[in-house]
């Protein structure tokens, strides 16, 4: 990685920006671990009773939807 970063003029700023961007994109539920604790899983099961995951027709990204706000 060091070799790949040699041409970057300000490596410190690059690394700082990369870390901040990564932290800004962390899952708020698992906090980036990719694993839910048993308590988090219980809360998720409660939440998903009225929520689901759909794929965006425009960008194809999965996103949460609320059954109460869905057009009928």
Tens-digit pLDDT profile for residues 13-67: 998 888 888 878 888 888 888 899 999 999 999 999 999 999 999 999 999 999 8
Same domain (yes/no): 28, 50: no
Q: SS3 of 72, please?
A: coil
CA count, 13 A, side-chain hemisphere, 36: 11
Same domain (yes/no): 47, 23: no
Same domain (yes/no): 65, 50: yes
pTM of the model: 0.55
HEC sequence for 26-41: CCCCCCCCCCCCHHHH
Tell me the residue range of the domain where 56 lies.
36-72
Split into its structural domains, the chain has a count of: 2
Same domain (yes/no): 15, 4: yes
Same domain (yes/no): 3, 24: yes
Q: CA-to-CA distance for 45 and 43, rounded, in angstroms?
A: 5
């Amino acid at each position: 990685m060091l070799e790949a970063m040699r041409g970057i003029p300000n490596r410190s700023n690059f690394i700082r920006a990369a870390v901040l961007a990564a932290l800004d994109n962390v899952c708020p539920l698992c906090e980036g671990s990719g694993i839910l604790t048993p308590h988090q899983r219980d809360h998720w099961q409660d939440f998903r009773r009225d929520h689901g995951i759909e794929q965006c027709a425009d960008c194809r990204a999965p996103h949460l939807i609320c059954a109460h706000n869905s057009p009928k």
